[in-house]
Amino acid sequence: MNAGKLDAALLTLLQSDSRDSRDPDERLSVFVRTDPVSAPHAKAALKSLGIDVAEGATVFSADLSKQQVRELSGQTWVRLIRLARAARPLSNT
């Protein structure tokens, strides 16, 4: 796992999970930012995780297991993995 590629919330969740006995199959909604994905092995890796790879795209959303996040963060073409957060409505003030 490359902790430098994870945002603080995701890193905290993954580190606390290693000390707790939470569900290892729990899925996390994340955003993955990559270099332009042109290498066949990078496209194949993303597709194997269920991520649709659009031509020229560098940001992808996915529901990944904690282990998949750890493994993906170790790829050289991955720049950042960020935990998705629930959107809140804007106030009408």
Domain assignment present for residue 89? The answer is no
Residue 19 has pLDDT above 60, yes or no: no
Residue 17 has pLDDT above 70, yes or no: no
What is the total count of domains within the chain? 1
CATH number of the structural domain spanning residue 35: 3.30.70
Domain assignment present for residue 88? The answer is no
**pLDDT level of residue 70 (50, 70, 90 thresholds):** very high
Domain assignment present for residue 77? The answer is yes
Domain assignment present for residue 65? The answer is yes
DSSP string, the chain: --GGGB-HHHHHHHHHHHHS---TT-EEEEEEEES---SHHHHHHHHHTT----TT--EEEEEEEHHHHHHHHT-TTEEEEEE-----PPP--
The domain of 32 spans 3-16+27-83
